[in-house]
Structure 1
Amino acid sequence: MTDTEIDYAAVFQALPGMVALLTPELVFADVNEEFLRGAGRTREQMVGRYLFDVFPDNPNNPSASGMRNLAASLQRVTTSGERDAMALQRYDVENPERPGEWEERYWSPINAPVPGRDGKVALIVHRVEEVTELIKARGGPTGGRARVLEAELYTRARELQELNERLRQAHAREREVALALQEAMLPARRQVGHHDAAVRYRPAVGALNVCGDWYDLVDLVGGNRIAVAVGDVVGHGLEAAGVMGQLRSALSAASRVAEGPAEALNVLGRYANVVDGAESATAVTTFIDYDHHTITYSSAGHLPPLLVHPDGRVEFLDRATDPPLDARPDPFPRPQASTTYTEGATLVLYTDGLVERRHEDIDTGLGRLADALSRHRHQDPQTFADAVLLELLPPGGATDDTALVIVRL
């Protein structure tokens, strides 16, 4: 049987568990028959309605937290694009036939994302296992043994939630330290000499997803020249921040004495081979010569810089691409290429958080970036950078760090 012969709508309705489809706005898009039976609702009472209008918290229970906990889980799924399994929840349900009468219920939910063609979360699969009968099985809700089991399960669930909260707080503290470390390591937003440049850094969403990306702008000796570079370290958190700082500093120093970007990356590659945590790190560097209107560049496994010409044409600087920094243990000359530009052009360097999306070909993201750069090219670099980030990053933030450098030539 092929996929075209499978009736997936029928499969969804026949699933042997309570399953609902929610939009990112938490509106019921569909529910299967088992969900309707378990919830005691009709399809008309659910589909097209806001989740928490159908299932609000019990107003008679001041400690009710089911709605808040579920909302937080669904937000995590929408933002991160990752599945989220929740601890056991007490979530009372109002009897649809007797308004104001609430039934004590216990649920074990799992929420999973369904990405759309643009890579963003288009739907959320909300699957529920009800365990109310398990808790009340022995002696009913007032029976001694059942009450002990109920209290124990509920206590364990609360303890797990508290543990998760402590872990999130610990991760948040590490994130703050890592961000402070990166702030100290990265060059300040500035103009290099009298050349207008805008730089932006956006950490990934999530407690630990931070500090893998870096950028640098360096005044070069001899002539009216600067070097502009970006790089990406695999991993996140404090360790990645430390590696990032070492590689950025090494490339900055090498660029000042190297004859060109390829030689600078050769030096950096040899250094990366002796730095723990620099495995598979990437970098691209460009030398801009304002007197001769040339850009010389070399890439070590990184995405290509883009040159936006005044007429809107976008040129990918991809003729000097080599493997990542530590790919070769022995010195090996890296490729180098040059291109020319006219006054008013714009050079753009970036990291993969700006263009990569889950379940999407990288060329789609690069095309989206090129289109945005062409349309916003007439703006000043600061406004230009903000417009590009606003247009390309997901509303809830990207799942990878993003660095962006824009230089008006």
Structure 2
Amino acid sequence: MSDAVIDYAGVFAALPGMVALLTPDLIYVDANEDFMRMSGRTREQLVGRYLFDVFPDNPGDPAASGVRNLAASLRRVVETGERDAMALQRYDVESVERPGEWAERYWSPVNAPVLGPDGRVVLLVHRVEEVTELMRARGGPSGSGSRVLEAELYTRARELQEVNERLRKAHAREREVALALQEAMLPAPAPIGRHRAAVRYRPAVGALNVCGDWYDLVVLPGGDRVGVAVGDVVGHGLVAAGVMGQLRSALSAASRVVRGPAQALDVLDLYARSVEGAENCTAVETWIDWEGRSVAYSSAGHPPPALLHADGRVEFLDRATDPPLGARLSHAARPQAEAAFTEGATLVLYTDGLVERRGEDIDAGLRRLAETLERHRDADPETLADALLLDMLPLGGATDDTALIVVGL
């Protein structure tokens, strides 16, 4: 059986239960046998047609909301790339043989995305369970109890869907505000002297996952030097975005007056102890000295920067790592280390959204990062930044924010 070619078209046609495939524009691409049989439509009446031309609302029911509810669910799937389960729906269906005659029907739909190579939704799987007979049977043989039960279940389902819709809108508003706040507080990419740098920021997928990842680039006084940092705030939403802004600003200011990255993190650690929500946040600070051909660095519990040498070798800067900000009971000086580089090297700083996966050790993510860097070692910073996001992030998008800085050395 392992060598047999599976007829997936045949499998789809034989799937138990009603399943249809739609384009993101809600045009039918295919439907299995159960879908056609239970909906009373042939393949010719479905494929190539717009969903709501085939199944419009019952014009005789002023309270009909099937089209609105189903359209909202499918739109969420297209926008988020995530599955959406709907509350029980009453959605009447017009008879093909007797136009103008509508049958009262109840459905329990689930909509799921099919993602393309670029992570975008290319198809929608519309799976429907027809529960009309179950709704009627639960009320007993007389039928009168069934009508009461139907009305009660339908009312509760509609109430639940309305509550869910309000919650979705509230979370969407918070996400929009948090993203705007993050964008306003993060520095716009700008030239760092004569050197090349690329910056990327990718918010997490899903309305509830706006986090507090941040980055900073600052031209340091005295010589051809630049400070580059990234950090990650614990938590989500507006609170995390606010803490992120405070920590980034504090580190940016400290970097201009201290003698090295370890001292900059010392200052940030003291400051974080006075900021509610900044406990256990992580950060890494690097100072690039082009005249001395070295990178000084210090890390507060953050994934190590990657130094891609000109010969393709990848060195993780992990010799000066301490606990996250504010994690110690008492303040202590942080360690600092240096790494040498030659012309043509590249420095990459990132947050954990780039390398961490649920259920996977971070070492696996670091190995993936090293392999990707080696594969694209001849790329310029802009091209390399795009390649890293394409190769490292899941097709459906990461569940954590990702900040990325690539500096050509």
What TM-score range do you get, normalising by the shorter chain? 0.7 to 0.9
Deviation at 1:381, TM superposition (A): 1.5
Deviation at 1:105, TM superposition (A): 4.9
Deviation at 1:361, TM superposition (A): 2.2
Given the superposition, is the C-alpha separation of residues 39 and 398 from structure 1 closer, same or farther in structure 2, using an over 3 Å criterion? same
Q: CA RMSD in A?
A: 4.3
Aligned-partner SS, 2:172: helix
* Residue equivalent to 2:11: none
Given the superposition, is the C-alpha separation of residues 90 and 214 from structure 1 closer, same or farther in structure 2, using an over 3 Å criterion? same
* Residue equivalent to 2:348: 348
Give the TM-score taking structure 2 as reference length: 0.75
Q: Does 1:138 align with 2:115?
A: no
User: Take 1:287 and 1:332, find their aligned partners in 2: how far apart are those partners?
Assistant: 21
Q: After superposition, where does 1:180-219 map in structure 2 within 5 Å?
A: 180-219=180-219
**How much identity, in percent, do the aligned residues show?**
64
Deviation at 1:156, TM superposition (A): 2.7
Q: After superposition, where does 1:163-178 map in structure 2 within 5 Å?
A: 163-178=163-178
Q: Is the 8 A contact 2:73 2:111 kept in 1?
A: no
Aligned-partner SS, 2:404: strand
User: Take 2:17 and 2:366, find their aligned partners in 1: how far apart are those partners?
Assistant: 36
* Residue equivalent to 2:366: 366
* Residue equivalent to 1:47: none
Deviation at 1:85, TM superposition (A): 5.2
Given the superposition, is the C-alpha separation of residues 231 and 157 from structure 1 closer, same or farther in structure 2, using an over 3 Å criterion? same
User: Take 2:272 and 2:20, find their aligned partners in 1: how far apart are those partners?
Assistant: 46
Aligned-partner SS, 2:256: helix
Given the superposition, is the C-alpha separation of residues 132 and 361 from structure 1 closer, same or farther in structure 2, using an over 3 Å criterion? farther
Q: After superposition, where does 1:205-354 map in structure 2 within 5 Å?
A: 205-354=205-354
User: Take 2:19 and 2:349, find their aligned partners in 1: how far apart are those partners?
Assistant: 39
Q: Is the 8 A contact 1:73 1:86 kept in 2?
A: no
Q: Is the 8 A contact 1:212 1:234 kept in 2?
A: yes
Q: Deviations over 1:10-54 (max 9, x none)?
A: xxxxxxxx999999x99xxxx9xxxx9x9989xxxxxxxx9x99x
Letter in 2 for 1:312: G
User: Take 1:92 and 1:227, find their aligned partners in 2: how far apart are those partners?
Assistant: 64
Aligned-partner SS, 2:334: coil
Deviation at 1:366, TM superposition (A): 1.6
Aligned-partner SS, 1:297: strand
Given the superposition, is the C-alpha separation of residues 99 and 198 from structure 1 closer, same or farther in structure 2, using an over 3 Å criterion? farther
Q: Deviations over 1:235-287 (max 9, x none)?
A: 11111111001111111111112211111111111111121111210000101
Further displaced range: 293-302 or 60-69: 60-69
* Residue equivalent to 1:12: none
Q: Is the 8 A contact 1:293 1:342 kept in 2?
A: yes
Which consecutive unaligned segments of at least 5 residues does structure 1 have? 1-17, 42-49, 114-123
Letter in 1 for 2:220: L
Give the TM-score taking structure 1 as reference length: 0.75
Given the superposition, is the C-alpha separation of residues 212 and 352 from structure 1 closer, same or farther in structure 2, using an over 3 Å criterion? same
Aligned-partner SS, 2:406: strand
Aligned-partner SS, 2:206: coil
Q: Is the 8 A contact 2:211 2:236 kept in 1?
A: yes
Give the paired residue count.
373
Q: Is the 8 A contact 1:357 1:365 kept in 2?
A: yes
* Residue equivalent to 1:408: 408
Given the superposition, is the C-alpha separation of residues 382 and 92 from structure 1 closer, same or farther in structure 2, using an over 3 Å criterion? same
Given the superposition, is the C-alpha separation of residues 128 and 319 from structure 1 closer, same or farther in structure 2, using an over 3 Å criterion? farther
Deviation at 1:344, TM superposition (A): 1.2
User: Take 2:92 and 2:150, find their aligned partners in 1: how far apart are those partners?
Assistant: 14
User: Take 1:74 and 1:173, find their aligned partners in 2: how far apart are those partners?
Assistant: 18
